[in-house]
Copies of this chain bind each other. A is one copy, B any other.
Amino acid sequence: MYTPSTRPVVLDPRGAANICANCEARSQSVCDAVPDSDIARLAAIAVVTRAEPGTTFIQEGDSATHFFNISAGTVRMYKMLPDGRRQITGFSGVGHFLGLAVSDTYAFSAEAIDRVRFCKFSRARVRTLLDDFPAMEKRLLAVASTELVAAQDQMLLLGRKTARERLASFLMLQSRQGTICQGSRSRFALPMSRGDIADYLGLTIETVSRTLTKLRTEGFIEIPSASEIAIRAPGALENLATGMA
């Protein structure tokens, strides 16, 4: 049903000078909590890695040895049932932090959608770092809280919204946090496939495609290409998304 491919590639050995100080994703991530004066300590435990599209770099059930911080590209997190049914629990872009887990194993898998760059941090080393930077711990709590709120929204979507409302919600979300394309402000790229969208929204590929087409013919959106969307009627779409229609 789903056979991942290549392996992640380490770009910089751990401790390479200034990899954190010059990191363009730092300001958007939890690494921001470490002050400039101590940034070398963070760099000392960071391993910069690249993953080609389709690469699985976190495997559900594996022992949770590392934290991850995305610095480029888009990632899908998912859980699977033994017979191949897949639920994507979220997409992560630049600045996102991955790997929070209670137990000693990962609760989900993570794959690169496009070309992804991320930093790996050993959990043990991060723990010692956290003791010195309580601000970092606060940031992690904020991250977890944010994810929790998003997860609750997604439960409402999966449990109670119609296919139409799910697509509307998804498009509004992407338009807020997605990559903006040249031209219209309301136009953005969808790095993920229809299959990914379906598995994120608890639908099938066919229903996603059909519903998008319908939203297009009704004038809510435009679909310049399969991986681009422009929102024509943001207000109406938002109403759809929140069940006001």
Report if A244 contacts B (CB, 8 A): yes
Report if A49 contacts B (CB, 8 A): no
Report if A14 contacts B (CB, 8 A): no
Q: Are B202 and A81 in contact (CB under 8 A)?
A: no
Report if A124 contacts B (CB, 8 A): no
Taking the nearest CB of chain B, how far is it from the CB of A143, in angstroms? 9
Q: Are A152 and B82 in contact (CB under 8 A)?
A: no
In-complex Cβ contact of A134 among B103, B137, B155, B201 (8 A): B137
Report how far A142 CA is from B149 CA in the complex, Å: 16
Report how far A83 CA is from B102 CA in the complex, Å: 36
Contact flag A202-B160 (CB < 8 Å), given A149-B102, A155-B89, A243-B83: yes
Which B residues touch A147, using CB under 8 A? Answer: 148
Contact flag A87-B160 (CB < 8 Å), given A82-B244, A243-B82: yes
Report if A94 contacts B (CB, 8 A): no
In-complex Cβ contact of A202 among B103, B158, B242, B243 (8 A): B158
Report if A86 contacts B (CB, 8 A): yes
Which B residues touch A159, using CB under 8 A? Answer: 87, 158, 199, 201-202
Instruction: State the number of copies, please.
Output: 2
Contact flag A156-B243 (CB < 8 Å), given A102-B149, A145-B101: no
A133-148 Cβ-contact flags toward B at 8 Å (1 or 0)? 0100110111011111
Report if A100 contacts B (CB, 8 A): yes
Which B residues touch A79, using CB under 8 A? Answer: 152-153, 155-156
Chain B minimum-CB-distance residue to A138: B137
Report if A154 contacts B (CB, 8 A): yes
Taking the nearest CB of chain B, how far is it from the CB of A209, in angstroms? 18
A100-126 Cβ-contact flags toward B at 8 Å (1 or 0)? 111100011000000000000000000
Chain B minimum-CB-distance residue to A81: B243
Report how far A61 CA is from B40 CA in the complex, Å: 42
Report if A85 contacts B (CB, 8 A): yes
Contact flag A242-B137 (CB < 8 Å), given A87-B156, A146-B102: no
Can you give 5 contacting A-B residue pairs, CB < 8 Å? A82-B242, A82-B243, A137-B141, A144-B148, A151-B152
